[in-house]
Structure 1
C-alpha cells in the first residue's frame, strides 16, 4: 500500500516542475483527475469572463466556475490567471442597452478584486480583433488612440496592485505586421507603467503552419520591449497523432526556450473536451497521445 501511494505522488508532479517558467492549462467546470500530473498554472476556460459571471442580469454575479479554478490554484500553490475583464466577445447580454456601461464594468472588476488575488490578469483581450462594445463609455480612442485600454489597465492596477497585468491577442505569433500594431498599444501601456506581460494566443489556426524561425522572430520583436511574453491558448491539431506531434516538435521549443518567454498556457488537453476538434493530447480514457509523450520527454531533457 505504501508503494502505491508513493507512485501516485510521483505521478502528480507537473511537467514543468522546478523550471523557471510555468506550463499551464485551462480548467472548465471541474478539475480533471489527471490535471495535476501535467500542469502548474491555470486559467479558467470561461468561468471568469464577464458574460459568464453576469449572464443573468447587471445585478447578479455567478462566480461558481471561476471559484473552481482559483480554489484549485490556491490549494496547489500555483499561479492563477484571471481571464478576462474587457473583451468584445462573451460580454453579458444586458450591457448593450445598459444606461451606465462604465459603472457596470467597474462593478464587475471590483467584485472580482474583492474575491480573488490572481497572480496574472488578462485585462484586455483581443483589442485588435474583438474590441469591447463598451469602449466609447470607458474612454474611446481619446488622446492615445487607445484610451479605453489605458482606462482598463489603470483600474486593474488600482484594484489588483500585486497582480501582473497582461494584454492578450490572437493573430500575432504568425504575423509581423500585426506585431507592429500590437506594439503600438503595448508601448503606450509601457510608457504609463501599466503592463507586466504580453499575451500571444497560439491557437492552431495561427501556429500550425509556422516555422520555428517565424515563431522566434515575432516573439523577439515583442520581447524587445523588455516586457515578458506569455504564449497563451496553445492548441495544435492534425489529421494524425504523428502529424500533431511533429507540429509540437517544430514550434514548442521555439516558444519554451525563448528567453523572453516566462510561461506557456495550453487551451485544453483532453480529447473531446477542447474547444476545437482534434487538439486533445490525452484521450478521455487517459491514454497519452504522441504529442504529450514527446512533450514529457522534451521538458525532462530541456530544463530552463
Structure 2
C-alpha cells in the first residue's frame, strides 16, 4: 500500500511539473517546425507565427504593426536598417522577407572607400549597386554611406603622402564619382532619389578635437567643405549629412559638431543634416537626446538616427530585454518629438548580422530582432515610441 501511494504521488508530481512546463512565457517560443517545447502561452498572451520555424507568445494587447508604417504614421520618412549584399543575396529567405518590410537601407560596408576605390582612380560599385538595386525593387529609400571616413581606407590612401592639391583632387574625384554614380537612380517618392549621404563620417575624437588622419593632417578642416561641395555638385537633390557617435548628449564632441555646422552654414557650404549614430549601452540612453536634436535643428539642419543599437552584457535575461524595450522606446520617442528628426535606421535589424559581438566581446543582443528573426520586446518599444 505504501509503495502504491508513493507511485501515485510520483505520478501526480510528474503531471503537475509537466503541466507547469507546458506553458511558454510571454515572448517565449510556442511553435514552429522542429519545435518540441510548449505550445500553450502564459495567461495574457497568445501564440503568433513569426515564420515557419518560430512562433512566439505575444501579449494579447499587442497587435503587429510594421515599424516603417508606424514611423510614417508618425510623420517620419522611414524606419530602416543597415545591410549588405552578402546578407540579402544569401539563401536565408527570412532575412530578405523582413528586410523588405522596412522603408530605408544603408549599405553597411559596400560604399566605403576601400570597397569603391581600392586602387587610385579605379572604381567598383558592385556591392553598392546590389543594395541600391534591392532598394529600388522594394520601393525603399537609401542613405549613402559614406564619402570620407578615417576608417576602411585603401592602403594607397591611408599610407600615402600627398600635397594639398593632390589630396584635394583625390577627395573631389572620389566623392563626386561615388555620389554621382547613384544620382537619380532610386526614385521612390516624387523627387527623392538616394535620399541622403553621410558625406563625412566620424570626424571628431570624443574630446571634441579633430581625428588625426590623412585628410585632416594634410588638408586641415577644409576636407569637410571639399567633400560636401563635391557631393553637392554630383547630386544636387541629395541631403548631405555629417555623421558621428557620442554626439547624442551634451559634451565637447556635441559642441564641436555644432560649431562645425555653424561654420559651414556661415560659409555657404552645403550641409543639410546631422546623423546621430546612437550606439548605446543598455540603461544608458542619454536623458537629453531630444534636447540635443533640437539644438542641431535650431542651427538649420535636419537630424536622423542613423545606426541605432542597444547592447547588453550576455546572456540576455527577461529583465534585460524589458530594459532594452524601454531604452528603444526612449530613443524613438525622442526622435518622434522632434519634427525634423526625419527617420531611424538600426544597425542591423537582426542580431544575426550585428557588429556588436565582434567589436565588444561578451556583449550582444543589440538589435530589435533576434538571430532567428523573432521580434524581441525592443520591437514593441519601437512601435510605442512612434505612437507616443
TM-score normalised by L of structure 1: 0.83
1:263 aligns with 2:338: no
Residue matched to 2:293: 219
Residue matched to 1:14: 68
When structure 1 is superposed on structure 2, of 86-95 and 279-288 the one drifting more is 279-288
Residue matched to 2:378: 291
Change (3 A) 1:13 1:178: closer
- C-alpha distance in 2, partners of 1:131/1:155? 22
1:68 positional shift: 1.9
Contact 2:147 2:178 in 1 (8 A): no
1:198 aligns with 2:274: yes
Question: Counterpart of 1:34 in 2: which secondary structure?
Answer: helix
Residue matched to 1:84: 146
- C-alpha distance in 2, partners of 1:12/1:263? 15
Residue matched to 1:93: 155
- C-alpha distance in 1, partners of 2:177/2:215? 19
Contact 2:198 2:240 in 1 (8 A): yes
Residue matched to 2:369: 282
- Choose the corresponding residue for 1:107, options 154, 164, 173: 173
**After the TM superposition, which residues 101-250 of structure 1 pair with which residues of structure 2 at under 5 Å, given as runs?**
101-117=167-183, 118-129=194-205, 130=211, 132-137=213-218, 139-140=219-220, 146-191=221-266, 192-205=268-281, 208-212=283-287, 214-238=288-312, 239=316, 240-250=320-330
Q: Flag structure 2 segments of 5+ consecutive residues without an equivalent.
A: 1-63, 89-94, 184-193, 206-210, 357-363
Task: Please list every run of at least 4 consecutive aligned residues from structure 1 whose deviation after the TM superposition is greater than 6 angstroms.
Answer: 10-13
Contact 1:14 1:37 in 2 (8 A): no
1:11 positional shift: 8.5
- Structure number with the higher strand fraction is 2
Q: Which has the higher contact order (CA 8 A, sep 6+)?
A: 1
**After the TM superposition, which residues 22-41 of structure 1 pair with which residues of structure 2 at under 5 Å, given as runs?**
22-29=78-85, 30-31=87-88, 32-36=95-99, 38-41=101-104
Deviation track 1:6-59 (CA, whole Å, cap 9, x = no partner) reads: xxxx9878343444212121112233323345421111001101022233x224
- C-alpha distance in 2, partners of 1:154/1:126? 18
Question: Counterpart of 1:280 in 2: which secondary structure?
Answer: coil
Contact 1:49 1:84 in 2 (8 A): yes
Quick check: which has more Rg, 1 or 2? 2
Contact 1:176 1:218 in 2 (8 A): no
Question: Counterpart of 1:296 in 2: which secondary structure?
Answer: helix
Contact 1:51 1:91 in 2 (8 A): yes
- C-alpha distance in 2, partners of 1:282/1:42? 16
- C-alpha distance in 2, partners of 1:24/1:131? 32
Change (3 A) 1:51 1:180: same
1:74 positional shift: 1.9
Residue matched to 2:39: none
Residue matched to 1:5: none
Contact 1:51 1:90 in 2 (8 A): yes
1:119 positional shift: 1.7
Deviation track 1:93-141 (CA, whole Å, cap 9, x = no partner) reads: 111226543333333223324420222011111111346423354x32x
Question: Counterpart of 2:311 in 1: which secondary structure?
Answer: coil
1:44 aligns with 2:107: yes
Residue matched to 2:17: none
Contact 1:12 1:34 in 2 (8 A): no
1:250 positional shift: 2.9
Contact 1:204 1:237 in 2 (8 A): yes
Contact 2:67 2:79 in 1 (8 A): no
- C-alpha distance in 2, partners of 1:13/1:183? 30
